[in-house]
Structure 1
């Protein structure tokens, strides 16, 4: 399984509608509205890397109001217990 994180810049007035439309696309597991230089973040779960073109180019980028995307591929998933420990750093 491949996990991709897609950062999406959108036209401001289209952000809510785009979030909903992206959430309905195949391979999209989650969509978040975020602060910073991008407006939305989509988490994609794919069987293989070949599905990435379909999901991003033919899916997300084809939606009206999407200005640009940046795609990150995840190398490794860390167990939740390690993530929980990370937030407790310095607390003993």
Structure 2
């Protein structure tokens, strides 16, 4: 499994629409709207590098409003928290 973090600059009036379209892609684990230098950040999990290549160059390229992306590959996970239980409000 290959994990990557993709940072997005998006046209201001299309942030919500782009986020929803990204979240609909099966490779997207999470999509966050954020403050700072980027508008959105996505966590992507794919089986191999070719899958990531297809995601970026074919699927994401079709989404109108994405201005720029920066893709970072994760080499090793140092924390394996169960995020669902951490943020559960039972």
By the TM > 0.5 criterion, same fold?
A: yes
Which residue is 1:11 aligned to? 11
Cα 1:80/1:26, change in 2 over 3 Å: closer
Which residue is 1:68 aligned to? 68
Counterpart-to-counterpart distance in 1, 2:80 and 2:29: 18
1:79 positional shift: 2.9
Q: Which runs of 5+ in 1 are unaligned?
A: 82-92
Counterpart-to-counterpart distance in 2, 1:45 and 1:80: 15
1:64 positional shift: 0.3
- 1:1-92 to 2 correspondence within 5 Å? 1-80=1-80
Aligned length: 81
What do the CA deviations read for 1:29-75 (whole angstroms, capped 9, x no partner)? 10000111110001100001111111112122320000010000000
User: Normalization by structure 2: what TM-score?
Assistant: 0.84
User: Normalization by structure 1: what TM-score?
Assistant: 0.82
Helix, strand or coil at the partner of 1:37: coil
Q: Which runs of 5+ in 2 are unaligned?
A: 82-90
